[in-house]
Structure 1
């Protein structure tokens, strides 16, 4: 559509993203300049994706102030910060690793993810099981309520 050679573009894209694990959403910006010149610029995955992935859950909380969808440790926050510090949105503001980590903690809170100092796999497994049971009970209650509304009409 923009007149760039698609074969060369695919080759360049694959070369640039070869170290990225398949399935990870990767924001890519494509800058096209006539005639047939383009530049690919990739950024790290979003903080949201990294937090939800690291927290081992499918999605964030529906009611973030009232429920905890998952947990991550401070170590996880700093691992994510080390990836995200390379992101242009942080580099242009000359943010320190600590500031990036604080930003990621804010993102975690907005997703309903609790940041804890330590967390064992067993404790987290129990937490996820409890959350799943709560979701089932809530879903059953909503279904019963919806069935009651349908009968009233």
Structure 2
């Protein structure tokens, strides 16, 4: 009988060590963590001190341009403390910055939203290789991943880029984006009229 009791106690110790909490995975703008929605409720559900977290996050990201989206991973400890891991901005953010655009293509297969050079791609891959999830991946693999992300954004990768031609392309693209925004707004208004 005592053997089975000892076995149950050892199993209970193992069960106590199992962590059933889920990691919080979200993007938070650099230096702009605030206790209000949507971040506040997500942290509150996990019993994290929201004002302390916001202060900690904003201090850690003080050297980064405010508003840049940072993928953040938060793991909760049983004593209400947490482990905070802040990644580099998403690949799509870097690609759009390098291309000089604010948004990707609505239909990436049919339209080109911007262009970047192979040098841009390599520089972005070097930055992204600092992410904990990409630590042990070779640069070639990260470049391949970035090419796929660029395609989904409608960004074309070229060997060389003429600044004057690209400036003209961006001006034409700006007009196309404005037209797309108008069409989307008209669709929203038509949908609201149907549901009213």
- Superposition TM-score, scaled by structure 2 size: 0.63
Q: Is the 8 A contact 1:3 1:35 kept in 2?
A: no
Length, aligned pairs only: 143
Please, which runs of 5 or more residues in structure 1 have no aligned partner? 147-153
Structure with the greater alpha carbon radius of gyration: 2
Q: 1:129 aligns with which of 171, 175, 182?
A: 171
Pairing 1:116–2:163 present: no
Matches within 5 A, 1:1-153: 1=44, 2-91=46-135, 94-135=136-177
Q: Flag the structure with more relative contact order, 1 or 2, with Cα contacts below 8 A and sequence separation at least 6.
A: 1
- Residue 52 to residue 37, structure 1, CA distance change in 2 (3 Å): same
Question: Secondary structure of the equivalent of 1:86?
Answer: coil
- The CA RMSD measured in Å over matched residues stands at 2.8
Please, which runs of 5 or more residues in structure 2 have no aligned partner? 1-43, 188-196
Q: How far has the Cα of 1:61 moved from its partner?
A: 0.9
Q: How far has the Cα of 1:82 moved from its partner?
A: 1.2
The separation in 1 between residues aligned to 2:55 and 2:177, in whole angstroms, is: 45
The separation in 2 between residues aligned to 1:72 and 1:89, in whole angstroms, is: 25
Q: How far has the Cα of 1:59 moved from its partner?
A: 1.0
